[in-house]
Chain A
Amino acid sequence: MAEEADLLGQDSDGDSEEVVLTPAELIDRLEQAWMNEKFAPELLENKSEIVECVMEQLEHMEENLKRAKKGDLKVSIHQMEMERIRFVLSSYLRCRLMKIEKFFPHILEKEKTRREEEPSILSPEEFVFAKEFLANTETYLKDTALKHMPPNLQKVDLMRTVPKPDLDAYVFLRVKERQENILVEPESDEQRVPFLFQGLRDRPGGGLTALDPIQNRRTPGCFWGHTANLKPEITTREMRPWDLRRHIFGNPACHPVPRTAAISTVPWVPGPWRSAQSIPLTCPQLCHSSQNQQMMLPLC
């Protein structure tokens, strides 16, 4: 990415007034937003500033490439980079559009009932698109069938007929940075998050880390969950899934990850969380995963 900055021949210049981003950071944020959007069951907040910045960067790169000499190796490398970025951007926008089309009555209802101070999940163009989609579908249903039906059945409540996003869907997540102050009061037995703290051990100096010999060389605190700094007595609590949800998708420090083959062999272990002692791992697969360890959590 340093090359890209050279080729751009300009200082890093994100478009938002508050933060100046290098192109590398911008692309990183785009990828983060893309992954979050792909794996979240519902529509997340729109990142139109990132989209705009990336589009601008792509334009700059294209202009620069036109001016560059032909046959230069850099040209094809940058073209490839541009294609990749364009793919990620397109995929991100496609994902959002798909979710808008899938859940359009609920999204529009949420937009109607949101308060002034809350930011909108939709960008203005997406909002227009969603409204047109709703109008289009309603007109179609009415003209084709509903107007021929008996008078008391001529309306269809789209909020009830179109399914809601499944917020109980399971998501894998990985924590990238140390997290301080997380936890929550457990409410009921059903809301336990099983499997989350399996195989934990006290670290000297406090906090918890997973029992995983391969991962010892990683920086302490990189942990698979939000509980990197829990004191042992707190860790006897169970975490409520909906608190996790806020953290997962709103938190730049952790993000959902795709399932890998290693994870699919991990067995489901129900039951309450165990207190932080040295316990032998009951599932060897966790121990030998070579990626950052990942967990499966229900979100609700």
Chain B
Amino acid sequence: MWSTARSGGPEHRVLRRQDWQEDGLRQVLEEMKALYEQNQSDVNEAKSSGRGDLIPTIKFRHCSLLRNQRCIVAYLYDRLLRIRALRWEYGSVLPSALRFHMSAEEMDWFNRYKKSLATYMRSLGGDEGLDITQDMKPPKSLYIEVRCLKDYGEFEVEDGTSVLLKKNSQHFLPRWKCEQLIRQGILEHVLS
């Protein structure tokens, strides 16, 4: 969470995804509420009794309110960008460990983003459209050597033969079929 105008908070920006900082956010919102109420009362007083010396204080509080708003929006937007990156890295289904770090609204946003992206990809032409979350790297060869990291089971290749993916077994498979599994961590590309 970014540091707020007055309350202390972690100053540094975390690079890894962090738990949804419900508490931090709530503190900032409460602080904003308090500041606003103070400002309101001062404004009323300034208007009614003509106390011009309250105006700098009012302005200062307004500035800190604006700063708090900016910090909050920046934090939320940054999290959104990271969640968006998750869709591109992990695919449609997120690992459950990550789902715990997200709030309910973030999950909503993620689902809506997923749907929006899927609609766009389907409209790209042809019957099923083009899945642009595949083919992230330029293809170097048609077939690649992969090693299986976890037990997966039967895996069917395009010409009908199926391959049994057991842990630590190595196979020579078409690249585009493996890409998905490599990203999920089931297969590992062996570079030798």
Q: Which residues of A contact B (CB under 8 A)?
A: 51-52, 55-56, 58-59, 70, 76, 79-80, 83-84, 86-87, 89-91, 93-94, 97, 101, 125-126, 128-129, 132-133, 136-137, 139-141, 143-146, 148-150, 152-153, 156, 161
Q: Which residues of B contact A143 (CB under 8 A)?
A: 105
A93-B130, A150-B65 known; A145+B73 contact, CB < 8 A: yes
Q: Which residues of B approach A to under 8 Å, CB–CB?
A: 25, 29, 32-33, 36, 65-66, 69-70, 72-73, 76-77, 80, 84, 103, 105-106, 108-109, 112-113, 116-117, 119-120, 123-126, 130-132, 134-139, 141-142, 159, 175-176
Listed A/B pairs (29) with beta-carbon separation below 8 Å: A51-B124, A55-B125, A56-B126, A58-B126, A59-B126, A76-B142, A83-B176, A84-B138, A86-B135, A87-B135, A87-B137, A89-B130, A90-B135, A93-B130, A97-B120, A97-B132, A125-B124, A128-B119, A129-B117, A129-B120, A141-B73, A143-B105, A144-B25, A144-B103, A144-B105, A145-B72, A148-B29, A153-B65, A161-B70
B120 touches A149 (CB 8 A): no
Name 9 extra pairs, CB < 8 A, besides A51-B125, A145-B72. Answer: A55-B124, A90-B135, A93-B132, A132-B112, A140-B76, A144-B103, A153-B36, A156-B73, A161-B77
Chain A residue with minimal CB distance to B113? A136
A59 to chain B: closest residue by CB: B126
The secondary-structure label for the interface of chain A is: helix
Most buried by B among A56, A90, A93: A90
- Given known A83-B135, A128-B119, contact A133–B130 (CB-CB < 8 A): no
- Give the CA-CA distance A51 to B126 in the complex, in Å: 11
Minimum CB distance partner of A70 in chain B? B159
List the A residue with the shortest CB-CB distance to B83. A140
Known contacts A80-B139, A145-B25, A52 near B65 by CB under 8 Å? no
- Taking A126-B120, A148-B29 as contacts, is the C-beta distance between A90 and B65 under 8 angstroms? no
| Cα distance A128–B118 in the bound complex, in angstroms | 12
In angstroms, Cα B70 to Cα A97, docked, is 26
| Min distance, Cβ B11 to any Cβ of chain A, angstroms | 20
